[in-house]
Structure 1
Amino acid sequence: MQEVPVKAMSSSAAWPHRFVGGALCLDFINSVDMPGTAREQDLFVDYAAILRWSLARGSLTEAAHDRLAAKARRSAAAAEAVWRDALALRADIRMLAHALRSGDNPAPLIPRMNDKLSRLPLAPALRLRAAGAGTESGGNRVVFDLAGVDLEEPLWPVLWTTAALLVSDDTAKLGECQASDCDAIFIDHTNNRSRIWCSTETCGNRERVRRAYQAKRAVKAAST
C-alpha cells in the first residue's frame, strides 16, 4: 500500500462504517476506509474508537462499554498501549486472511496468534441485548457478557472469533472487495463464489458509476 496521508476520525463521532465481513474478526480488520487512496481513513483513531466499534458490532454491552471508557480516561497510558496492541492484532489477522485467500502457507503467522490465544480468558456467558440498544441493525442479538474491567476486553471477542474462523470451512470462502478504493475482506457465501463487492449499496454503486463515467469519456474521446 502506498504511503498517503491518513485522516483521523473524530473520537466523538458515531460509528460510520457498515459491517460487511460476515465475522466479527473480519469486521475488525475492515476498519480502514478507502485504503491506499488520498481519502484513506483509519477508523481506529484511539482506544475510544475501538470501544465504539465494539458497542456497534455487539461485542460489548453498553454497561461494559461505559465502564471501560471511564477506566480509559483514568488510565490513558494503559488504554493507549491496548490501542497499539489492537492495531498490531489487526495487521496480523489481515496478513492471515490474505495468506488464506491467496493459498499461501499461513504457518509462519500461527505462532504469534497462538501466543495471543494462550493468554486469553475463557469466553464469558452470553446475554441477549434488546432491540434498539446501539447495534447497527438495532434488532435483538446475543452478545458476550464481558465485565468491563480489563482494558483488553474489546480484543478478546476478536481473538475468539479469529480462532473460530481459522478452524472453519469459511477460510475457503474468503473474498476481497474488487472496488478500486476498497480491500475489505468478507466471507463469500454465494454458491459460485461470485461476490465481488463488500457492499452493493456502497462500493458496488460507486464502482458502477465510476466505470460508466470512464466509458462515457472514452466514447467522447473516440468521437473527437
Structure 2
Amino acid sequence: MKDRQSDVAVRAALAKLVASQVGGHLALDFCNTAGEHLAERPDELLKDWESFVRWTVQVGLIEPELYGELVDSPSPIDEVWELREEIYHVGLTLALGDPVAEHDLVAIREEANAPKPMVVSDGGRVHWRPDSQFASQQLRAILAGEALSLFCSRRSARIGMCGGGLCGWLFLDESRGKRRRWCDMKDCGNREKARRYYRQLQKSK
C-alpha cells in the first residue's frame, strides 16, 4: 500500500510542469528555466533541488524511476543556477549576433569536462544513470556538454531570442528566413498583440 501511495505521489509531483519546453534544444530549455530572464530579478523556476530533478525527468534527461532516489539525495541548487546563467550568457550573445569571448566559455568547459553519469541499458532502453551522491555534477556535465555541442554547430546561427518584453527566452529558430519572434505565440505573442491593440485603441480616442 505504501509503495502504491508513493508511486501516486511521484506521478503527482512529476505532473507539475517546471517550465515550458519551447527552446527546441535541451541547453536552451535549460536556459529557459528562469522567467522574465532579462529582468533585474528573473522569476526562478528551479526553486530547489527537487524542481531541478523534476525538470530533468520532464525533458527526458533521466528516467522517471530515478526521481525519488535523486530527490532523496539533495544537492545545493546554486551551482545549477550558475551554470545556467553561463550558458544563457553565451546563448544570448549568439542570438544577438555578437562575438563570444573566450573567457565566457571557461566555466562551461570545466563543467562539461566533469565525469558524466553511467550509461545503462534497462529493459532495452539506453539512458543515463546518475550516481545519487554525484548527481548534480554529473547532470551539469551533460547540460554543459549539450550547450557546447550546440554552440560549436551551425545550428548556433539559428539561436533566437523572444521579443516579448523582458522574456528573453532562447529558442532554435527553424523558420524560413529566421522570422520567429516569440518563445510561444500563445504566451508572449498574444500579450504583444494585446499591447498593440490597446495602443491603437488609445490612439483612436
Q: Do they superpose with TM above 0.5?
A: yes
Change (3 A) 1:143 1:25: farther
Percent identity between the two aligned chains = 22
Distance 2:86 2:53 in 1: 20
Per-residue deviation at 1:89? 0.2
Per-residue deviation at 1:125? 4.5
Contact 1:127 1:145 in 2 (8 A): no
Distance 2:100 2:128 in 1: 35
Deviation per CA, 1:49-102, whole angstroms, max 9, x where unpaired?
111111111111112221101122xxxxxx12xx11011101100111122223
- TM-score scaled to structure 1, two decimals? 0.75
Distance 2:149 2:204 in 1: 50
Give structure 1 stretches of 5+ with no counterpart. Answer: 1-11, 73-78, 130-141
Per-residue deviation at 1:126? 6.8
Q: Which amino acid aligns with 1:200?
A: M
Partner in structure 1 of residue 44 of structure 2: 42
Q: Secondary structure at the match of 1:180?
A: coil
Contact 2:53 2:71 in 1 (8 A): yes
In the TM superposition, 1:105-184 aligns within 5 A as 105-121=100-116, 124-125=119-120, 144-149=127-132, 150-152=134-136, 153-184=138-169
Per-residue deviation at 1:15? 1.8
Q: Secondary structure at the match of 2:160?
A: strand
Per-residue deviation at 1:148? 4.7
Per-residue deviation at 1:168? 1.1
How many aligned positions are there? 189
Distance 1:106 1:217 in 2: 44
Partner in structure 2 of residue 132 of structure 1: none
Instruction: Say if 2:196 is the partner of 1:194.
Output: no
Q: Which amino acid aligns with 1:84?
A: D
Q: Secondary structure at the match of 1:89?
A: helix
Contact 1:60 1:154 in 2 (8 A): no
Deviation per CA, 1:149-180, whole angstroms, max 9, x where unpaired?
23314323312311221221111111000011
Partner in structure 2 of residue 92 of structure 1: 86
Change (3 A) 1:119 1:156: closer
